[in-house]
A and B are shown apart, each in its own frame.
Chain A
Amino acid sequence: MTWLFRLGLYVPVLFLVMLVYVGQHETSAAATLPKALRKTVKFTLYTVLGIAIMLTIEALFLP
């Protein structure tokens, strides 16, 4: 349950970080928002993939 809660919190926190990260390369909020959203989705997918790989390794190699 705890890790589900943390994963749920991770997405909005990642979005806030992406707002600042993307903001550096843009000149307006209108241009920043959609790109930050796209990057949040992309990095969330990478994270889920990473967790899935770790869980698979754990299931295969750790008793």
Chain B
Amino acid sequence: MGLSFLVPGLPQLLLGRTVRGIAAFVSTVGLFVVGYAIVGERLWAFELFKPFTILKPVLGFLPLNLLPDVGNAGCSIVAAMLRPPETDEMERLMRLPRAFEHLGLTLTGISGMLGFLWASDAFACAKPKLARPTLAGTAAIASWILPGSGHFLVGQKDKGLLMGGAVLAMWALGLAFGLGHSVDRPLLSAWWIGQAGFGGGVLAASFTTAPLVMDTLPSHYDLGFHLCTIAGLMNLVVIVDAYTRGEAAQAAPAEVPA
């Protein structure tokens, strides 16, 4: 699992799941590289906090304060190494908006979320003698993209509809109250960490609603981004449940004899 954080897909390759390993590598490293190419050093403007002196050597190497991007630890470490020295000019450049930054920042963020999900997939795949070792990981990733879809894969369709529907309804309420501006990493970076729990939602928002110009502040803006963040956090619960049910389904129906 730890290996998966550093080199996504390598554990799956070592376990003989070549296609899965390649998919994990491309979806995490590929998305991070594209995102970083778009935003460059601006990425460092979205650290959760500026590291104080005692933490600087650690966070300078592994930026744990860059969430959720650090889920793709290997790429985050490389990006931290490429980080230019902290000068006033660099601080100024970091704060300058970039073209397509919504998309770039979303790509680096979701590559981090995928880092966590592929690591949990590696953990499930590594369990010996199971009939369907990839089910738990697939269910988790499916739920992250579309809430409730993981439950369909593990055979709990009605519950998937109910839980997924609850997350989608909450997300839609949030977007409606924020007039589409509730999911916006450059503007609401700390809230976006929670919203990234719903991968399909943040990706769709980065293409559609996030780049829209906000002329006036929506009257229920705070309600909007709070509800979208709650939806993202609710989806984390749905993902964990789908993964757990997937683990049970992996073992229960047809355990391969030793």
CB distance from B152 to the nearest CB of A (A): 13
Q: Mark B131-170, 1 if CB is under 8 A from A, else 0.
A: 0000000000000000000000000101101110011011
Instruction: Give the number of chain A interface residues (Cβ < 8 Å).
Output: 17
Return the chain B residue nearest A19 by Cβ.
Answer: B166
Overall SS of chain A's interface: helix
Flag if B159 contacts A29 (CB, 8 Å): yes
B227 within 8 A of A: yes
Task: Find B163's partner among A6, A9, A20, A30 (CB 8 Å cutoff).
Answer: A20
A12 and B167 alpha carbons, distance in the complex (Å): 12
Flag if B223 contacts A6 (CB, 8 Å): yes
Flag if B156 contacts A28 (CB, 8 Å): yes
Q: If the complex has contacts A9-B223, A13-B227, A24-B237, are A19 and B158 also in contact, measured as CB distance less than 8 A?
A: no
B241 within 8 A of A: yes
A37 within 8 A of B: no
Chain B residues within an 8 Å CB radius of A27: 156, 159
Flag if A21 contacts B162 (CB, 8 Å): no
A26 and B163 alpha carbons, distance in the complex (Å): 11
Q: Mark A19-58, 1 if CB is under 8 A from B, else 0.
A: 1110110111110110000000000000000000000000
A16 within 8 A of B: yes
A51 and B167 alpha carbons, distance in the complex (Å): 27
Q: How large is the interface on B (under 10, 10 to 19, 20 to 34, 35 or more residues)?
A: 10 to 19
B234 within 8 A of A: yes
CB distance from B176 to the nearest CB of A (A): 11
A7 within 8 A of B: no
A17 and B159 alpha carbons, distance in the complex (Å): 14
Chain B residues within an 8 Å CB radius of A19: 162-163, 166
Flag if A30 contacts B169 (CB, 8 Å): no
Chain A residues within an 8 Å CB radius of B238: 20, 23
Flag if A20 contacts B158 (CB, 8 Å): no
Chain A residues within an 8 Å CB radius of B223: 6, 9
Known: A20-B163, A28-B158, A33-B162. 4 other contacts (CB 8 A): A16-B234, A20-B237, A27-B159, A28-B156
**B residues lining the A interface (CB < 8 Å):** 156, 158-159, 161-163, 166-167, 169-170, 173, 223, 227, 230, 234, 237-238, 240-241
